[in-house]
């Protein structure tokens, strides 16, 4: 294994790639393989990137997030789409990261500028079993953009479901 460097060139490349991506986000994996026991990656979100609310229902699948650039709102829901907690993560602010336990309904809502965070989670990554998407949240696409607008202003106690 060689030393890996994470410089401004990498983050600029992530932002450019996210800007050009149809999903308006891009990740850069540090781990070598999806079977690695610890998954480590950088993710850049553009302001209009919709991340469908989901959970990782396998008991060992915690996630840890640390902001590097920009800001996001990290939302935690109950089963019925009620917003339980809203955390404003900011690379320059008082709250820069968090860790959530497995089986937690959540999403990341980007702010007004591109945002990059570092994510660490338990591996291996099994794409078909990795996450459960919330039935009350639309899939990515035009309806996801309307839902993202709703999430940007959703307050604790309100329901994300229509």
Tens digit of each residue's pLDDT (9 = 90 or more) over 107-158: 999 999 999 999 998 887 766 556 799 999 999 988 899 999 999 999 999 9
Query: What pLDDT does residue 128 have?
Result: 52
Buried-exposed string 3-34: b where 16+ CB fall within 10 A, e elsewhere? eeeeeeeebeebbeebeeeeebbbebebbeee
CA distance 31 to 58: 20
Residue 162 has pLDDT above 90, yes or no: no
pTM of the model as a whole: 0.91
The domains located in the chain, with CATH, are 8-153 (2.60.120.10)
Could you give the C-alpha distances from 118 to 25, 28, 147, in angstroms and in order? 13, 10, 25
Dig out the tokens for 20 from the structure.
């050009």
Residue 35 has pLDDT above 80, yes or no: no
Q: Could you tell me how far CA 94 lies from the centroid of its own chain? A: 19
């Amino acid at each position: 294994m060689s030393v890996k460097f994470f410089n401004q060139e990498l983050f600029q490349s992530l932002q450019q790639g996210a800007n050009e991506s149809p999903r308006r986000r891009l990740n850069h994996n540090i781990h070598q393989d999806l079977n690695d026991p610890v998954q480590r990656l950088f993710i850049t979100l553009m302001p209009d990137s919709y991340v469908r609310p989901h959970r990782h229902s396998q008991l060992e699948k915690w996630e840890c997030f640390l902001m590097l650039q920009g800001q996001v709102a990290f939302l935690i829901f109950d089963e019925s789409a009620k917003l339980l907690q809203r955390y404003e993560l900011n690379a320059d602010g008082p709250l820069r990261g968090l860790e959530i336990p497995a089986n937690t309904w959540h999403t990341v809502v980007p702010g007004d500028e591109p945002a990059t965070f570092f994510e660490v989670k338990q591996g291996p990554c099994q794409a078909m079993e990795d996450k459960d998407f919330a039935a009350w949240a639309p899939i990515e696409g035009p309806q996801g953009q309307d839902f993202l607008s709703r999430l940007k202003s959703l307050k604790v106690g309100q329901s994300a479901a229509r």
